[in-house]
Structure 1
Amino acid sequence: MGIIRYAALKAAPWANGGGVTRQVAAGPDPANWDWRISIAEVAKAGAFSAFPGMERIITIIDGELIALTVDGAERAVEKFRPFRFSGDSDTSATLPTGALKDLNLITRRGAFAGHATILELSKKRPHPVFAGQYAVLLQGSATVSPADEALARFDTVVGSDDAPEISGRGFLAVLSIDRA
């Protein structure tokens, strides 16, 4: 089990100046990745970077909604509702409710498949985090066992064969990355 602390992640500015991204994890080689998890701060409307050959899942995690235009089709994406689209698509966004943060999972088509689920935490039923999964605390308070370490907002638990368990109150994003 590992914990990636959000507070320790370095912010990298976007090329278009519309926000910053913090890379949570990437693999198999972080420098030349086939999948990546990141948390972005979106400060202003604008075009999204293209990721040819990739599939993307975006989830608003702080703020209310983002209005996406994907290949000419408009779509309102609300908080805690994952939205999948092609990295090949011509994509832009407006921010009708202001600046926000989003959680991104990008996977190389044909090599990996990504899935995102948002669930409500329970103190009575701990949620296991299996190998190939990453669990991000979106809201509330939680601990991860067996070490009973406290998680801060946007901290990420790295799943393993030992399946650490998260319990508490709030909401959790579980990102699964599987070989295609």
Structure 2
Amino acid sequence: MSGATEGHALVLLPADRHRSYRWRNGLGTATEIAVEAVGLRTDGGLGDGVGDAPAAPGWTLSIATVESDVAFSSFPGVDRQLMALSAGGLGLVIDGQPVELDRWRVAAFDGASAVSSRGVVGPTLDLNLMVSRDRFRGSLEVGVVDGSRLVTTPPGATTFVVFLDGLLSAEGPGLDPRALRRHDTLRLEAGTLSLTGDATIALARILPRR
């Protein structure tokens, strides 16, 4: 199974099919892992791209590439969580305050905050979860698979498992056992996902506000 097919409890989102786009401010690039389906859209998720969007999605999950010390795009009304993926971590300045993110550490901040990277000397990756504050709640955390691990999703929530490092295989509803490649992502709407291997993963969860 591959592609974001509606109605499936578990969907594999292969890394080689992620769509690339430029940031809203044009100072970096990102690959879109998943975005809330809202019909025709010509931008890169929550307005992070070029062109006009007839309806802004309520959440996006993406991997950004930061190549130098640059300002991040502004997203008023959005809650952002960012995980450093590269071995050297990522330095940030958030509303004037320096923040040093070790690899796999997460920073949470208001999308309207003034944020920039600092101390970047080469291409650096980070995982971004952005949710509309009025419509959704989101969480982003690192996880470890040490032999085996089961992943479930809370009722009404969507859970994403992003394979970050190591060796990992997965199986679940409608998905035969298979080895994953770096940054392959599994979207779980219901049921249980079984993971085996020795790996680092990211767990992103999105829950509608009632």
Q: What is the TM-score of this pair, normalised by structure 2?
A: 0.79
The equivalent residue for 1:21 is: 30
Distance of 1:103 and 1:71 partners within structure 2: 20
Distance of 1:138 and 1:55 partners within structure 2: 23
Please say if residues 63 and 101 of structure 1, whose CA atoms lie closer than 8 Å, have aligned partners that are also in contact: no
Distance of 2:13 and 2:141 partners within structure 1: 19
Distance of 1:6 and 1:107 partners within structure 2: 22
Going from structure 1 to structure 2, the CA distance change for 1:16 and 1:179 (only over 3 Å counts) comes to closer
Residues 114-172 of structure 1, C-alpha deviation per residue, up to 9 Å, x if partnerless? 1011111122x323142510000000111111411111001001113122222211101
Correspondences of 1:19-168 after superposition (within 5 Å): 19-29=28-38, 31=41, 32-96=56-120, 98-123=122-147, 125-130=148-153, 132-146=158-172, 147-168=176-197
CA RMSD of the aligned region, Å?
Answer: 1.7
Aligned length, in residue pairs: 179
1:178 counterpart = 2:207: yes
Please say if residues 22 and 29 of structure 2, whose CA atoms lie closer than 8 Å, have aligned partners that are also in contact: yes
Note the C-alpha offset of 1:74: 1.1
Please say if residues 63 and 99 of structure 1, whose CA atoms lie closer than 8 Å, have aligned partners that are also in contact: no
Secondary structure of residue in 2 paired with 1:7: helix
The equivalent residue for 2:13 is: 4
Residues 10-32 of structure 1, C-alpha deviation per residue, up to 9 Å, x if partnerless? 21123555431111111142732
Secondary structure of residue in 1 paired with 2:16: helix
Instruction: State percent identity of aligned pairs.
Output: 25
Distance of 2:180 and 2:152 partners within structure 1: 14
Task: Provide structure 2 residue ranges, at least 5 long, that are not aligned to the other structure.
Answer: 1-9, 42-55
Q: What is the TM-score of this pair, normalised by structure 1?
A: 0.92
Distance of 1:113 and 1:51 partners within structure 2: 16
Which residue identity does 1:134 align to in structure 2?
A: F
